[in-house]
Structure 1
Amino acid sequence: MNITVIYNPAAGGGREALLCRFVAELERLNARVTLYHTTGPNDATRYLQSREDQGDCVVAVGGDGTTNEVLNGIAPGVALGVFATGTANVLAKELALPKKPEAAARVVVQGKSVMITPARLNGRRFIMMCGIGYDAWVVDAVDLGIKERFGKLAYALSMLSQIRRYGEQRYRVAVDGRPLDCFSAIVTNGKHYGGSFVLSREANILRPQVQVLLFQKPGVRFLLRCLTALLFGRMEQMDGVASLRAEQVTISCETGDEPIQADGDPAGRLPADIVVDPEPVPVRVADTFNS
């Protein structure tokens, strides 16, 4: 098996020792490994697009942002593998991927592939989620220095700093052509959010649809109740939160230069045009994964 390993040394503060163990196990399993260290944002995408032969599988070693870059550079038919070492690893949680490098390597070589359909945000793929409103403000305001040193603490601090803004902006969201208003929205391909939290029990990453969560009430108290519900996996039970399946979503607002986040990183500004990608991607999972 020919494997290209894309390693982001900035993700999670760097995990060189784990990377070495991961690659050593791949080679023990008779895989032929090409290793690439990224040097900055979007470098993984550029590198993969420059390669005529990416091998049988490209493995993203880092966080969800690294996986997003690999997803946008991977060639059709090449499998995507994930060894999660970053700050947030939502896809790894969604697919029940192991944290130990030796076990992760065995999944890549000895596991199976399941077909996952990403979505496209203004033409660029994302595999887990994108958001506008409070969700995007938090990502946009994260202090990268704190993130590099303290990981998820950076997101917690950003959440606190943005709470009072919630409700100041209204958005128009068209869900498969049906116009709806909200004060924040998350479009998700899977159930999980921020790692282990369950955002949507209705979502299914193996289904060629996204789940759209609309936060339709203003007010800081409502937002705090939503965040509390997230801790217990009850977001969709909240009065004022609508959850709908969709194949196409457009999002706009009349005023303001509003950010978008995708897979945990800033992803441009509104308007947003989100469509289910017509081309699924084979993703390596354990043989025991229930598909």
Structure 2
Amino acid sequence: MDITVIFNPTAGGGRAKRLRQFVRALEQGGARVRLYHTRAPGDATRFLRELGDPGDRVVAAGGDGTVNDVINGLRPGVALAVFPIGTANVLARELAIPRRPEAAARVALEGRAQTITPARLNGRRFLVMAGVGYDAWVVDQVDLISKRRIGKLAYLVSMIRQLFRYGEVTFRVTVDGRPLDCFSAVISNGRYYGGGFVLSRQASLARRSVQVLLFQRPGPLFLLRCLAALALGRLEKVDGVASLSAERLTISAPGLEPVQTDGDPAGWLPAEIDLEPEPVTVLVSRT
């Protein structure tokens, strides 16, 4: 079996020792491993598109941003495996991918195939989520040096700094042809957000749709209520938060506003989000 491992050395502070254990476990399981260290955002996409033969499967070793980079270079018929060693590993949480190197290697070698339909933002795939408004401001303004040093705490710092901007911008989100206004929006392919927080109990990676959460009331106090409800897994119960299933949507705003996908900056509005015609095969634990 031939396996290409794409490793982000900056993910989660760079877990070089765990990577060596993971690769050793793959080789002990009979795999021939090609290891590639990314150098910058988008590097994994470019490398995989230029690679003649990636092998039987490609492993994204990093966080959700690394997975995003990999799936945008993944060829049809090649399976994706995940080794979660990044700052945020929402997809790994969704799929119950183990964090221990030896256990994750077993999934990459022997895992059960599960198909997931990626969403696309302006033609670029994402597997976990996209966001505009407060969610995108936090991602756009997070300090990358702090992110490497303190991990998720860097996002907390950015969340506090962006809190009082919430409510300043109104977004127009057209959900399957229905125009709606909001002050922030998160578009999710799965249940979780930021690691272990339940964003939406209606969302599912198994469904061919995304779940759209619209925050329709302004003001920092309302946003704080939403953040508290998110911590309790009750965000969709908050009066002023609308949760809708969708297959296609567009998002616009009066000025230049950022968008995030899978925890990384993903350009600017306007945005069109739809579903990939063909699913991606992801390896998950047999148990």
Question: Which bracket does the TM-score occupy, shorter chain normalised?
Answer: over 0.9
Q: Which position in structure 2 is the counterpart of 1:285?
A: 284
Deviations 1:79-116 (A, max 9, x none): 01100101011100111110100000001111111000
Question: Identity percentage over the alignment?
Answer: 65
Deviations 1:131-155 (A, max 9, x none): 0000000000100010000000100
Q: Which position in structure 1 is the counterpart of 2:160?
A: 160
AA in 2 matched with 1:260: V
Deviations 1:38-70 (A, max 9, x none): 111111110000012111110000111110000
How well do the aligned residues superpose, as a CA RMSD in angstroms?
0.6
Q: Which position in structure 2 is the counterpart of 1:186?
A: 186
- Unpaired runs of 5+ in structure 2? none
Counterpart Cα distance in 2 of 1:153 and 1:136: 17
SS at 2:190's partner residue? coil
AA in 1 matched with 2:14: G
Task: State the Cα distance separating 1:279 from its structure 2 match.
Answer: 1.1
Asked if residue 109 in structure 1 is aligned to residue 109 in structure 2, the reply is yes
SS at 2:278's partner residue? coil
Q: Which position in structure 2 is the counterpart of 1:130?
A: 130
TM-score normalised by structure 2 residue count: 0.99
SS at 2:109's partner residue? helix
Counterpart Cα distance in 1 of 2:237 and 2:218: 17
Counterpart Cα distance in 2 of 1:77 and 1:117: 14
Q: Which position in structure 2 is the counterpart of 1:24?
A: 24
SS at 2:185's partner residue? strand
Counterpart Cα distance in 2 of 1:96 and 1:233: 18
1:106-255 maps to which residues of 2 (within 5 A)?
Answer: 106-253=106-253, 255=254
Counterpart Cα distance in 1 of 2:90 and 2:57: 20
SS at 2:283's partner residue? strand
Deviations 1:172-227 (A, max 9, x none): 10000111110000000000000000000000011110000000011111000000
Counterpart Cα distance in 1 of 2:213 and 2:54: 36
TM-score normalised by structure 1 residue count: 0.98
AA in 1 matched with 2:225: R
SS at 1:103's partner residue? helix
AA in 1 matched with 2:216: Q
Counterpart Cα distance in 1 of 2:178 and 2:56: 41
Counterpart Cα distance in 2 of 1:99 and 1:274: 31
